[in-house]
A and B are shown apart, each in its own frame.
Chain A
């Protein structure tokens, strides 16, 4: 598929996801609301990264650089919450 077409399709899907996330917010699902909203955000972000930012074609090193950022963020968040959630 040529890149412009691919981009167009991606935009379309992004819009669907946007509509989905707003729509779901109107349904009360308790704590699942947040989970679903975050899942949709992750999907949107993944599309942007893979298609718009062409991560698929950028080589291992570039992917590694970006995932390092995410991985280190996960360290920050998980160990800190580990403290907050295990206080007696």
Chain B
């Protein structure tokens, strides 16, 4: 870690201080993200408690296969990024670039699948507010389910897109840097963000896709 070549910004005294500051900053930022999504999770609990059956019925309309694939996609991408972070410290430029770009590609796959699901929902008349209809008399609760579904997965998808952009920038910088090991902190911190995006999905997945898929 202690590469003497890391450029030191004028406000810092030593590289370790700079690196710790960046890491701490990112973790605090992630704490704020927890609370950003947290408000939505609270709404989810309150409304699911008010209409448990409607939520179960509505959950039946989500695409379990697509959701499962997407979960796997994000997990694998996280794995790539974790490796990329480690290998950056070793200065392994080529592998790192490949891993980061693979993660970006997986992010794109995720978004495409998500887009496909959205499209399907809208076709089916399950987009709230746009002549929403839901059979079986549970329309009210089901609509709330889909309000939360679109808001929460939408906000998450936004994070995926931002995260992918950050990873792409990292890949570019690593590629062009004469000494990739210098970029360890940057890749590390970007990776933290990416893993967090993954974690959010780990919770969204069962809450939306797995309420009722009983055979």
Contacts and interface: CB of A to CB of B under 8 A. Distances in A.
Interface of A: 3-4, 7-8, 10-11, 14-15, 18, 21-22, 25-28, 33-34, 37-38, 40-41, 44-45, 48-49, 51-53, 58-59, 61-62, 65-66, 68-70, 72-73, 76-77, 80-81, 84
A34 B203 CA distance: 11
A7 B82 contact: yes
Contact of A48 (B64, B68, B202): B202
A69 B31 contact: yes
A51 B65 CA distance: 27
B202 A45 contact: yes
Contacts of B203: 38, 41, 45
A44 B24 CA distance: 23
Interface of B: 20, 23-24, 27-28, 30-35, 38-39, 41-42, 45-46, 49, 64, 68, 71-72, 75-76, 78-79, 81-83, 86-87, 191-192, 195-196, 198-199, 202-203, 205-207, 210-211, 213-215
A80 B42 contact: yes
25 contacts: A4-B83, A11-B76, A15-B72, A21-B205, A22-B68, A25-B206, A25-B213, A26-B215, A34-B206, A37-B207, A41-B206, A45-B199, A45-B202, A48-B195, A48-B199, A52-B79, A52-B81, A52-B195, A58-B23, A62-B23, A66-B31, A72-B38, A76-B39, A77-B38, A81-B46
A44 B203 CA distance: 9
Contacts of A10: 79, 82
Given A10-B79, A65-B28, A25 B214 contact: yes
B42 A77 contact: yes
B81 to A, nearest CB: 8
A53 B192 contact: yes
Contacts of B23: 58, 62
Nearest to A43: B202
A80 B202 contact: no
Contact of B30 (A14, A41, A69): A69
Which of B33, B81, B206 has the most A CB atoms < 10 Å from its CB? B206
